[in-house]
């Protein structure tokens, strides 16, 4: 991600900064400029950065990826027309607001139904217990029919299922085929990693995982890169 700048209404452009990237600009890419201060510039992808000198240098807002104050993966920012000290950020975690020129940010997501589930799984005996893998917002469990949800693992929640013969065995996964198992009904901090050995292979972002009804065998589909094409090549089982 490199910033280009024009000072003559777009007739010519110059490079305004060195290259910044977390390797995710294909998915989330943000550019915002303070309408009352052209030197106040934000760029973002997985991380958010700010320049106060017209894009010559940038510093993290809230720290690098693992230390972000807000949820990572930034898509947009707008300044309030009434007061540019007020600004809003939209990211994979919802909406955040600053009222002090971007020095601090407040989470505005209370009461917003913004979680997107990739997959869900229901308890075979208790309809109030449901599990869900959420896009960029962890894996969840509800025990009251969906009125409240609690996080049980982190990262991007993906495939999930419950052993029909022993519902204490719960399986959940995250991106690239990492697979977890709980023997305590899927409660928080009860999962262990049981991912099949992939060797030097890579898995799909949303890695298909199938199971027999008794969950004695799990199948996790991996893939190998063949030139520019990524095609299924092996089935791993656990």
Q: Closest Cα to residue 49, out of 93, 114, 2, 84?
A: 2
* Domain count across the chain: 2
Residue 8 covered by a domain: yes
Residue 112 covered by a domain: no
Question: How large is the average pLDDT for residues 3-17?
Answer: 86
pLDDT above 60: residue 222: no
Q: What percent of the chain has pLDDT over 90?
A: 49
Residue 234 three-state SS: strand
28-42 per-position pLDDT tens digit: 889 999 999 999 999
Inter-residue contact 63 to 77 (CB < 8 Å): no
One domain, residues 12 and 97: yes
The CATH number of residue 100's host domain is 2.40.10
In the sheet that holds 37-44, the strands lie side by side as 30-34, 37-44, 48-51, 59-60
Quickly tell me which residue has 């106040």 as its tokens. 40
So what's the pLDDT on residue 31?
A: 93
One domain, residues 153 and 208: yes
pTM of the model: 0.69
Residue 160 covered by a domain: yes
Residue 21 three-state SS: coil
157-193 per-position pLDDT tens digit: 999 999 988 999 999 999 888 999 999 999 999 999 9
């Amino acid at each position: 991600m490199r910033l280009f700048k024009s000072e003559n209404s777009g007739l010519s452009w110059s490079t305004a900064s060195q290259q910044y990237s977390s390797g995710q600009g294909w998915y989330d890419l943000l550019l915002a400029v303070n309408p009352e201060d052209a030197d106040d510039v934000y760029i973002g992808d997985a991380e958010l950065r700010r320049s106060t000198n017209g894009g010559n240098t940038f510093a993290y807002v809230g720290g690098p990826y693992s230390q972000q104050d807000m949820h990572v993966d930034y898509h947009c920012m707008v300044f309030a027309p009434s007061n540019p000290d007020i600004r809003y950020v939209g990211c994979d975690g919802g909406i955040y607001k600053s009222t002090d020129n971007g020095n601090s940010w407040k989470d505005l997501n209370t009461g917003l139904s913004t979680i997107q589930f990739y997959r869900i799984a229901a308890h075979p005996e208790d309809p109030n217990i449901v599990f869900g893998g959420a896009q960029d917002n962890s894996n969840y469990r509800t025990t009251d029919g969906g009125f409240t949800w609690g996080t049980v693992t982190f990262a991007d929640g993906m495939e999930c299922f419950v052993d029909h013969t022993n519902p204490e065995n719960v399986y959940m996964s995250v991106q690239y085929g990492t697979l977890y198992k709980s023997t305590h009904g899927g409660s928080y901090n009860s999962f262990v990693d049981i991912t099949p050995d992939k060797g030097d292979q890579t898995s799909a972002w949303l890695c298909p995982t199938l199971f027999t009804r008794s969950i004695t065998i799990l199948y996790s589909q991996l893939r190998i890169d063949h030139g520019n094409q990524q095609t299924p090549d092996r089935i791993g089982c656990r």
